[in-house]
Chain A
Amino acid sequence: MIMKISRTYLILSVLLAGLAFVLVLLPKTTRNKEIQPDKLLIEINDPARFVNPDFIAERLINEDPSLQLVDVRTKDQFSKFTLPGAVNIPLNEMSNEEWDESLNHEDKDVILFSNDDLYADQAWIISARQGYKNIYVMKGGLNLWFKDILSPEKPSETASKEEFETYYFRKAAAQYFRGPSSIIKTDIAPSNVELKKKEKKISAEGGC
């Protein structure tokens, strides 16, 4: 009787040991679960990942701590210009595990940007596949940022009230963000001002 019991125990323990071994052999999974192609397609098709530059500008001005900007351009481009508080993750290094800290935030919105939005979106697709959440893409990228925020176009007089509101917001934002660069501008400003002396028009006085 005792023999019988210990045999079943033996079989069970061998079985469990075998399963434990299988577990060891399973491929190492990353912290995030990779999503399958069909799920990724649904994510790609969803435009909810795009945020407007205005939205980002507003949060930057308010010094929103839950905003993490990520510049996916090259190191070289990043060193020349970037947005306040942005970290650089070049597109081709996007999948590197060392960036996990910058991308994996539960309580922060990570916003990717590039010159236009193509490269940022490619980076987004890879990070979405890797299962990162809370990642967004800046619509239009830096090109639109400069166009909309730093040199907003005045809406036509017939434009709606909202359009004027965004315009005034952008004007204010432009002043805020131009901060350091406006110093450069004042340097060159004087050269632009040409002192034009008004020539006195000599009225044709009648010669006698």
Chain B
Amino acid sequence: MAEVYKTKRLKIASAIFIALIVIGFLTFHKPLYKYTLTPEQALVGLSLPESTIGSVEIREIINSEKKNAVLVDVRNVQDYASGHINGAINIPLIDILNEQNYSHLRDLDQDQVNIIIYGKDHLQANGAFMLLKQLGFKNMKFIASEFDIISKMNNDGLKELQLLENMFMDDSIINQFVNPTSKKDSTTEDPPEKITPVKKAKKNSSEGGC
């Protein structure tokens, strides 16, 4: 009799065991998106000329008629509504993985259309770029600058943009401080505050004149 109970218990135990495994498989969270690049691969090709787009090229894209490139504005909807670059589409950064937006971008990428991302600053654009890069986007670059500067492109913003492009690798600011020979050093150093008492100029009484 005891043996029968034992087998019954065993059967119940194994049934529960199998049920648990099946439930585990069923409820396993399947991620919607998968990285196609490992972290090592994602770190390749981040140097600026490779991953960003220069001011001259941006201008060409804005002005050209043939659409081999799409500008993607990743700022929020309000910012986009209050002004954006002509022809840019709006996909706010936080919504970039929404099914509709993502599949749209994915189609563009597969059709060899260059995706050019810009945001309110270089970091916002970079965030979108880095995420999509790790998800396997290939035809994609970002503008490493602020929207306020990009939007002035046709006037005086071009020069500012070029300056910004150089900023990320450029050691010149550091060299000002570290390298004593640089000339700017003297200007950055605080000069001892000179107290210049205002001397009352003695009026030279016009002497002479005999």
Contacts and interface: CB of A to CB of B under 8 A. Distances in A.
Interface residues of A, number: 57
B178 A8 contact: no
Contacts of A208: 208, 210
B152 interface: no
Interface in B146-204: 167-171, 173-174, 176-178, 180, 185-186, 188-190, 204
Contacts of B11: 8
Contacts of B58: none
Interface residues of B, number: 55
Q: Is the interface of A mostly helix, strand, loop or mixed?
A: helix
A204 B177 contact: no
B127 A185 contact: no
Given A95-B39, A118-B122, A206-B209, A36 B204 contact: no
A187 B179 CA distance: 12
Contacts of A15: 17
B126 A37 contact: no
Contacts of A34: 35
Given A8-B10, A41-B94, A118-B122, A181 B177 contact: yes
Interface stretch (A61-69, A100-108, A120-128, A155-163): A120-128
A17 B103 CA distance: 42
A143 interface: yes
Contacts, number: 147
B98 to A, nearest CB: 10
B23 interface: no
A146 to B, nearest CB: 5
B207 interface: yes
B131 A146 contact: no
Nearest to A9: B10
A26 to B, nearest CB: 13
Contacts of B170: 115
Contact of A45 (B93, B169, B186): B93
Interface of B: 3, 6-7, 10-11, 14, 17, 21, 31-35, 38-40, 42-44, 46, 93-94, 96-97, 122-123, 126-127, 130-131, 134-135, 144, 167-171, 173-174, 176-178, 180, 185-186, 188-190, 204, 206-210
* 3 nearest CB pairs, A to B: A206-B208, A95-B39, A44-B127
